[in-house]
Amino acid sequence: MRISELLLPEYDNEIAVTRVVLERVPYDRVEWKPHPKSFPMGHLAQLVARLPGWANMVLDHTELDIAPKDGPKYPGYSFEKTATLLAEFDTGAASGRASIAKTSDDDFQVPWSLKRAGTTMLTMPRYLALRSTVLNHLVHHRAQLGVYLRLVDVPVPQMYGPTADEGK
């Protein structure tokens, strides 16, 4: 079985669960944050919405410079309506899925680098980069968003099993 065939069911599941979490982000609370050092809820939701699109950056290229010395920078954060975040999420999820599906086992082994201002911060095979910078990163920040929802009294959806709000 190809690596992509093993990854796609997991990807599809994480995407479906994440979409439900994003649907619950209340636009009237986007500036709320649980601690002064924390991201505002709207920025965390925007990060979660963008992460599926990172699959393309990992699988269709050999590096990403998140703060190039010259050239366009990765977009900053803004407060967007939930519908806008969902549209970005859906677009990124579909293109990310297509990138995973077309990637050969050999291409999953190609080294991929994350850079900042031309300095390499890490290099690893694309498979590991996809796992760590896309899938695991998505799950991590989705869980944070679930805590934010709980703290503003929005029902938390099931992720890997029942929550206090659903699935009893």
- In this structure, the strands spanning 119-125 and 63-65 are unpaired
- Look at residue 88 and tell me if it is in a domain: yes
Q: Are 126 and 108 in contact (CB under 8 A)?
A: yes
pLDDT at residue 121, as a whole number: 96
- Look at residue 107 and tell me if it is in a domain: yes
Q: Which CATH number fits the domain that encloses residue 59?
A: 1.20.120.450
In DSSP terms, 106 is beta-bridged to: none
Domain that holds residue 145: 3-151
**What is the pLDDT confidence band of residue 16, given thresholds at 50, 70 and 90?**
very high
- Look at residue 163 and tell me if it is in a domain: no
- Look at residue 30 and tell me if it is in a domain: yes
Name the 3-class secondary structure at 20.
Answer: helix
What is the spatial distance between Cα 139 and Cα 135, in angstroms, rounded to a whole number?
6
Cα-flanking dihedrals φ and ψ of residue 60, to 5°? Answer: -100, -5
- In this structure, the strands spanning 111-116 and 63-65 are parallel
Structure tokens at 41: 């809820």
Find how far residue 26's CA is from the centre of its chain: 19
pLDDT tens, position by position, 34-65: 999 999 999 999 999 999 999 999 999 999 99
- Look at residue 157 and tell me if it is in a domain: no
Q: What angle do CA 20, 66, 91 make, to 5 degrees?
A: 30
- Look at residue 137 and tell me if it is in a domain: yes
Q: Which helix (H) or strand (E) holds 105?
A: helix 105-108
- Look at residue 39 and tell me if it is in a domain: yes
- Its pTM stands at 0.93
- Indicate the number of domains in the chain: 1
